[in-house]
Amino acid sequence: MKAPWVHVVGGGLAGLSLVGELAKESILPGQVIISDPRTEYSNDRTFGFWFIASEFAFLKPEFSATSWSISTGNDRVIQTGHRYHYGIRSAGNLYEEAISAIDAHPQISRIEATIDSIPDAQHVYDSRPPIVDQFKIIQEFYGTEILCSEPHGIQTVGLMDNLQVFENGVQFRYVLPLDKKRLLVEHTSFTDRPSDLKALDQLTKKWITTHFSDAQIIRQESAQIPMGYKEPINHLGYPIGARGGMTRPATGYGYRTIKYWASNEARRLIKKNVSKVFKPSLLHHWMDHLFLDLIRDRPDVIPKILISMGCRLHGDDFAQFMIRERLVDALRVIRVSPKKPFTLALIGKSKWI
């Protein structure tokens, strides 16, 4: 029996995005398989990203805002995007679209399976979630979507509000308007060791009770996202998604990167029958890992750095840096950030700050 043309191990955002792009082609060079232990998908994530008007049809935001905030207990910065908007897309919406196209294609199969050895296929992609113990820094969050009885009146995305330092890292609140009455409220921590997600849930519930006591809880979501890895890990073929570094180490934002990668990779496979490993910008990779070293060694300086970036960067410049569009944006961030933390992190002396 002829081996499949493409096998994607793991049916998360990256796996479904790639196979969903392949499904747009009516006739493929061979059979495509996407394997995952689950068969049922729920609305378990909310993807945030920056976009410009010409990208609306491709990235498909369900809600967007033109301003976002960064704050500590004492300071608050509101940035406004002129070219860039901050958009969101629900995992449920993305899953439904991708699975519908995949299941309708005669050459693509979804199979329920746990794969732990390299499958027999011409092109193999590995999007399995890595083990938390392998993470250099962990981004943990617990969020609750609520329906308010009256319009909540929030127009600005609370991107990183109430930034605080705790024993193992940094913590903040994320408040995202989904429409006039719906909000997603999350508490997030950047930490070097796994912690109790229920503690983040309690912070979220406390904030909701204080501000919207009569709100109805719609659903909850939580996750642990890798922000870099302690050492190289083994893969079954080409690593993609979080496993392949498509979620940026310093932020975790990955939706936009993954969607563009999936579109380009599907085109390359179909036209040239060639697969390509994903490689982030070397400068961004270097800067991101300096930031991770600071989180690990001196989390107390992180709020100051982020507030400084918020104050000294225009909203569009901040957005372009976060989505790693251009190297000049990374250099601009270096210029506006406090020099001492970055300099000492650069020479491996973060603890001297």
More confident residue, 228 or 64: 64
Q: How far is the C-alpha of 330 from the C-alpha of 29, rounded, in Å?
A: 40
pLDDT score at 25: 96
Exposed, middle or buried: residue 54 (CB in 10 Å: 0-12, 13-18, 19+)? exposed
Helix residue ranges per DSSP H, 124-242 = 197-211
Give tens-digit pLDDT for 162-210: 999 988 899 999 999 999 999 999 999 999 888 889 999 999 999 999 9
- Dihedral of CA 245/248/253/254: which sign? negative
Per-residue DSSP letter, 281: -
Q: With a cut of 70, say whether residue 348 has pLDDT above it.
A: no
pLDDT score at 97: 97
Q: Please enumerate in sequence order all residues whose Cβ is within 8 A of that of 100, keeping only pairs 6 or more positions apart, or say none.
A: none
Q: With a cut of 60, say whether residue 342 has pLDDT above it.
A: no
Q: With a cut of 60, say whether residue 346 has pLDDT above it.
A: no
pLDDT score at 232: 87
pLDDT score at 347: 42
State residue 20 phi and psi, 5-degree precision: -65, -35
Per-residue DSSP letter, 272: H
Q: Do 239 and 232 touch, CB atoms closer than 8 A?
A: no
Average pLDDT, integer, range 256-269: 96
pLDDT score at 304: 87
Q: What percent of the chain has pLDDT over 70?
A: 91
Token pair, residue 111, equals: 């199979």
Which of 31-35, 124-128, 171-175, 323-327 has the lowest average pLDDT? 323-327
- Other residues' Cβ atoms within 10 Å of the Cβ of residue 168: 18
Q: Please enumerate in sequence order all residues whose Cβ is within 8 A of that of 4, keeping only pairs 6 or more positions apart, or say none.
A: 30, 31, 32, 33, 119, 120, 121, 122
